[in-house]
Chains A and B, each alone.
Chain A
Amino acid sequence: MSVELALDVAFRAALVALTLGFLEQLAVFERAFGFRGPFSPAIAAVFGRAGARSEGFSSALRYVVAGGAMAGIAGAVAGPSSTVGPLAALVALCCLALTKLRRVTASDGAEQMAVLTLFAACVALVPGPNAVTATLAVWFIAAQAVLSNATAGIAKALSETWRAGEAVLLVMGSESHGHPGLARVLAANPGLGRALTRSVVLFECAFPLILIAPPQLALLLLLAGVTFHVGCAITMGLNAFLFAFPGTYLCVAYVAQTVSPFW
């Protein structure tokens, strides 16, 4: 596992996650960013983003979102080792920052992980490639991936609902992130719901062990992570997570290879 490969995959996956978001926002732009939508100038002004209320900003915003999508595609195709890639990522990050002047709410974990990944890549690769800074970026991305899983795992382990094994059934029964078919199956098989809930807690809590585990166990945990995110995308509609989080896994594997006594 090389630094270049780990950073390449994380960089492209983060840009795919961001680009997907830009394209989805473009698809609902009229409704969501118009004056009747949740990202209207009036709502931005409530949250103190008065500048985002100006007419000039409103008319430019669609092009900003489109520009973010185009920069994301260009960066994902070019990759981090090219001259274009990191600059395109910078443009995509700037477009996202401008978009968020109006979209005060509706940020999610996938967007945050993609931003952190691209931030690290840009800090490391602009103005030009550097082996030491690239390695630092890979360590940073891996650390965020481990932190995210550890935090989520500990928070769930401290929650009575998660410990009781009820959480997956509750989430699947919800309108926002649920899946009626799976909710019915889980309601009919409470043992399956409990097993799924506890396996999520166990997986997230065990994730940091990748750093000191033998390669086979580390690989198993990373595969479990990919399966988990595929499952979340299919059942919960968390589509951007599918790219933003598994995209960091080679960085985690690189760090594990460096620090684990078993590799």
Chain B
Amino acid sequence: MREGLTAVILAAVFIASVLNQTPLQRWRDLVARHDRWTFLPFWAFFAPNPGYAGTHIVFRDRTPAGWTSWTELEVPDTGGWRWLWNPGRFERKALQDLFNGLVRSAQALRHPAALELTLCYLGLLAWVQAQPRRTPESITRQFALLQAVGHGQERSLQAVVVSREYAIGEC
């Protein structure tokens, strides 16, 4: 009995894992609805398009005197010991996941304005809005997502998303 049950459970999870590697949209929708813990894996590491750009969030506040300068929302950098100890990887991956989700949504949406209603956009907005005011007079905030390619002097930056203004405290 125990052996049979174990075989059924493990076989079911493996078959579901195999299905999860396929582009079946109905399966993907089902998994997205029910697998909140991302238990089922998707194993296409760095393919088809390897991530070659770093993602950054910058924001600025509007005050009665005008805009402040852009400030980067700090996401920890990697250290020399990252092959063993890499605590910043979770925050960097969070930013990357939200950004990738936003890009996927943007490609799927018919109306660009609807991007503001996607979960990833709202997640990024909540993150930005939680940062302290740049000045006590700050009224509204705007953020932008930048992609950086390359290192050092050869690094180039490109704005991918520039938000509208949001009242500070609004989310």
Q: Is B105 located at the chain interface by the 8 A CB criterion?
A: no
Partner of B10, one of A103, A136, A234: A136
Given contacts A28-B88, A136-B6, A171-B46, 17 further A-B contacts (CB under 8 A): A28-B87, A38-B94, A38-B98, A39-B90, A40-B126, A100-B37, A105-B93, A136-B3, A136-B7, A156-B48, A159-B47, A159-B49, A173-B149, A177-B51, A183-B151, A239-B86, A239-B89
- A38 with B43: CB separation less than 8 A: no
- A180 with B151: CB separation less than 8 A: yes
In the A-B complex, list the 3 residue pairs whose CB atoms are closest, starting with the nearest.
A175-B54, A237-B82, A159-B48
Within 8 A of B (CB), among A51-108: 97, 100, 103-108
Supply 15 A–B pairs (Cβ within 8 Å), ascending by A: A21-B90, A25-B90, A31-B76, A31-B91, A32-B94, A36-B127, A46-B126, A108-B93, A133-B3, A133-B6, A151-B44, A156-B46, A159-B49, A175-B151, A237-B89
Q: In the complex, which residues of chain A have a beta carbon less than 8 angstroms from the beta carbon of B135?
A: none
Number of interface residues of A (CB under 8 A): 71
Q: Is B142 located at the chain interface by the 8 A CB criterion?
A: no
User: Shortest Cβ distance from B3 into chain A, in angstroms?
Assistant: 4
In Å, the complex CA distance between A139 and B13 comes to 13
Q: Is B122 located at the chain interface by the 8 A CB criterion?
A: yes
- B127 with A43: CB separation less than 8 A: yes
Q: Is B9 located at the chain interface by the 8 A CB criterion?
A: yes
Residue among A112, A149, A176 with max Cβ neighbours from chain B (10 Å): A176
Residues of A at the B interface (CB closer than 8 Å) are 21, 24-25, 27-28, 31-32, 35-40, 42-43, 46-47, 97, 100, 103-109, 112-113, 115-116, 119-120, 123-124, 130, 132-133, 136-137, 139-140, 143-144, 147-149, 151-152, 155-156, 158-162, 167, 170-171, 173-178, 180, 183, 233-234, 237, 239, 242
User: Shortest Cβ distance from B34 into chain A, in angstroms?
Assistant: 13
Given contacts A113-B41, A173-B149, contact A120 B10 (CB under 8 A): yes
- A173 with B47: CB separation less than 8 A: no
Q: In the complex, which residues of chain A have a beta carbon less than 8 angstroms from the beta carbon of B9?
A: 123
Partner of B87, one of A27, A38, A119: A27
